[in-house]
Chains A and B, each alone.
Chain A
Amino acid sequence: MTSKTASISWSNTELIVVYYSRGSVVPALLAAALHRDPEISLEQGLRCAAVWKTTHLPEEASVMLKPFSRLEGGYILFVATANAAPGLVERTLMAVDHLFPRGGTNRLLVAPLPGFRRPRREIEAGTLWPEITAVVGQVRLQLALREARV
């Protein structure tokens, strides 16, 4: 299924952060929720993920890339899922971004999440919360470094 992404329009001054998780969108949703609200607990994150899925994914989608939230500071969080290897997805999206006129938007950050080797129900119960927290922390650091450079 090809997702539609029309609910948040992107302006080319905004940075795109894509949280990608393999096999289930839940880790990506937890990461995006944690990114939006650093104080959120795992339980709150799971509730947020459930609400988001009900609202935005009426049907179970094995492949999708959708906007999650627009944040202050000029960037938009996206969540994506598929079964493809995270590194492959990251390289492909970065390569496609570089096709953009003038050598790419240079405004894309793809953050693959771990966890695809565990049973799906464990992943969706948030067992990867420590790893997700680490990835979000790394993304925040990368964003801070980008801002410092500009």
Chain B
Amino acid sequence: MSYGYKIAAALVGAVLLAAGSFLLTDAPAAESSWVFRLAMQGTALGAAIVAAGIAIYGLAYLGTSRKRAEERERLSTSRGSKGYSPDRLDMRPVKPSKFFYNMALIFVGVVFIGSAAGTGIPSGQGMSLDQFQEMPGRIWSYLVGMSQGVFQVPGEDARGDWSTAFEAMLESVAIAWIGTIIGAVLSLPCGILAARNLSPLALYIPMRFILSVIRAVPEIVFAVALFIPLLGVGPAAMGGAMAGAFALGISSIGTLSKLISEAIEGVDPGPVEAARASGATQVQVIRWAVLPQAMPEVLAIWLYRFEVNIRASAILGALGAGGIGRLIAPPNGLFGRSPYDWEAIGITFVVIIAITMVVDQISGFVRHRVIHGKRVRQKKQKKPGDDAPTDGPKAAAVPV
């Protein structure tokens, strides 16, 4: 398919998409749901823009075909003037087509425009122009209120706010810790069962499926739907904190087991084979050939999950599952009693940020120590004239 035909095909596709989505704005579905109607309008608009762009490009392509030929001619003759004339002009490869790649990019663009329209933000669903104009002033006054709370010399009230926030944040840390411990204890066997090189297919497939299901449910839903009824709601003494801890623990299992199984699949197969060859049972293989290799990385994964859980636990309180979340969510914090106590909210945010960062630093240090051993973190000072740069030790690949 030559380039011209591809342009034509893309044009037809864009026009069809525009027309189709435009027709769908009158569909019965659009009657009942404004989201659908707006999304379709946006898609139609985006596709129309793309179609227009492709049309203009195609016309330009048609119009300049002679010019391009001349240009090619000029360049191929001008190279003689440099005193170098390759006799293998035909060796130049044809530029490989990136047609589908470009089309996919444009398609993502159209989807973006359609979704943006669908959220109703551009057309002002959910907020009026007045609100929008007042926004900067409101943001400014709120920020001033928050920083006043943080930077003032703590009086009686503010001292109470600081200590409440700290206690609540420590409760969050406790929730995150228990959640991580629960997740860690359960994730090791699950991870081993979900590792392709250790577990039989009959266990591997259901295990993977269960883990995906766990990963699909947000921890906040675990807390609200399952553990608050089971363990209680409200501050720590009422059982809300326990509900949060268990929610975090169970939802940790999903990610932790997946990462652990990947770490286990990545171990050097040599020792495993050697252990099997010398007649070790499966448990012995795991204990002496797999775990010694994978354990540092597993520890790092657990610690990383602790960091993630701290962040998650900070919001569980918004639903009555314990922790600092109850200070920023209704009815105590924002959207509780109006006017909001911005000074206290500012203090709460600062405490969240500070404790989270401190825990991150500690955990990061321990992780580094676990992975890289005792060696002090040293800046690689590459001396020129040395041998080829050697790759440093592999850092643990721990996504969130």
Query: Does A associate with B in a complex?
Result: no
